[in-house]
Structures are given as C-alpha cells and as structure tokens.
Amino acid sequence: AQTVTQSQPEMSVQEAETVTLSCTYDTSESDYYLFWYKQPPSRQMILVIRQEAYKQQNATENRFSVNFQKAAKSFSLKISDSQLGDAAMYFCAYSGGGADGLTFGKGTHLIIQP
Amino acid sequence: EAGVTQSPTHLIKTRGQQATLRCSPISGHTSVYWYQQALGLGLQFLLWYDEGEERNRGNFPPRFSGRQFPNYSSELNVNALELEDSALYLCASSFRATGRDTEAFFGQGTRLTVV
C-alpha cells in the first residue's frame, strides 16, 4: 500500500518570505500523480499544484513550485512571497490511478506571521 | 458553474442511529469519492463510485455504505453510529478516475457529530 508522510505538523513563516513544506511517499508504482492540496478554515480542499511522475520537470503555479525527486520519493512544496491568505492546512497526496482514490499525508499547518 | 455540493453542512446524531450524507458532483463528472477526515487521522479514503457502481472501498466496516444515482449524485450512509464516526466527511468528484489526467474537486464537507 502507498503511504504519504509529512514530517512537519506545523510551519511558521513571515509574510513575503519563502517556505518549503516536505513530503515523502512510498510506492512500487512507476506511473502516478502527486498533489498538494490546501485546506483553509472553510474546510474546502483546494488543489494547489500537481505533478505527473513521468515528467522530470518540476511543476510551477505562480508562487507555488515543487521539488520532485522521484528516486528519493520526495515531493516538497515551495511557497514564495508568502501571503496571509496562504495560511491553511496543506496536504500532500498520491494517486496511482483511481481505484484507491487519493492517499493523503497528515498535513502541515502553515502559519503566516504578518 | 456550480462546484461540488454537500448536504447537510452539519449533522448531529446519537450513537446507534443512522446518518445519511449527500453529494452532488460537478456537472459532467461521473466519479465520486468519499473521504473521512477524523481529528488526528488525516483524510482516509472511504468509497469510490463511478458510472453508478461502487468501484472500490477503503478499510472501513460494512456499516459504511452508499450509492450513486443515475444523475451521478451520491449518498453515504453510516449505520449504527459510533462516537468515533465523528468527523468531517468530504466528497470529491472528477470527470474520470482521479490521477491519470484529471483533477478531483472537493465539496465543503459534512461535519458529523455523534453524541
């Protein structure tokens, strides 16, 4: 079974600074997808960024980028120019193709200090 | 375009009762996933419905069940409620099975409290 580990229960960063959230996963599959989801207090999960395992290039979405290290099974999220609205729980998730849905890590609570 | 909608927003039940949670996917989406987000346990996969059929279920007892209707909306039923069933239940929909080349969109969840 696949597992996803987020080793940072909580992170704090000053507004406008850069922060990196860590995620490691375990799988025997070669083709899969990785995601970062954001869950603000409103509870709704919002997709931040996705990475296809077969793509070597790291995904980027505006201020959000990932460092995908397939051999090391590592998938970290970098948030540049942190904003107050970035404060939320961030979940790393793995998908191998649908049958088991998404496998989530336990999340990292990101605090933005003004 | 309407997103994934879940009802009710909050639900309070007594231990031993049954709870019914509902989910309407985004128009055109045929896959519906249910997740349980219990405090301290993260999100856990519960059930997957696609084209009206249950395709897979997570490691949950049979008292967790559901169905998908012809319009692709879905219902999650939890029988013989236990205190530990208290959690946020999230529904997600996608055009096809999550992962290959599609994105799962989540609803805002139903907060179930068992007293």
Q: For A51-72, give the secondary structure using H, E and C.
A: EECCCCCCCEECCEEEEEECCC
Test the B interface: residue of A33, A100, A106, A109 with most B CBs within 10 Å: A100
pLDDT recorded at residue B91: 96
Most confident of B17-26, B33-42, B89-98: B17-26
pLDDT at B71: 95
Q: Is the pLDDT of residue B43 over 70?
A: yes
Residues 14-43 on A with a CB inside 8 Å of B are 32-33, 37, 42-43
Question: Percent of chain B at pLDDT above 70?
Answer: 94
Query: Residue B77 contacts by C-beta under 8 Å, 6 or more apart in sequence?
Result: B18, B19, B20, B21, B64, B65, B66
Average per-residue pLDDT for chain B: 92
Q: Please name the residue of chain A whose CA is at the shortest distance from the CA of residue B32.
A: A101
pLDDT in tens, B1-10: 679 999 999 9
Q: Count Cα atoms within 13 angstroms, Cβ side, for B45.
A: 25
Low-confidence residues in chain A, pLDDT < 50: none
pLDDT value of position B41: 77
What would the pLDDT profile of A35-56 be if each residue is shown by its tens digit?
Answer: 999 999 888 899 999 999 988 8
Q: Quick: pLDDT tens for B66-94.
A: 999 999 999 999 999 999 999 999 999 98
Q: What's the confidence (pLDDT) of residue B102?
A: 67
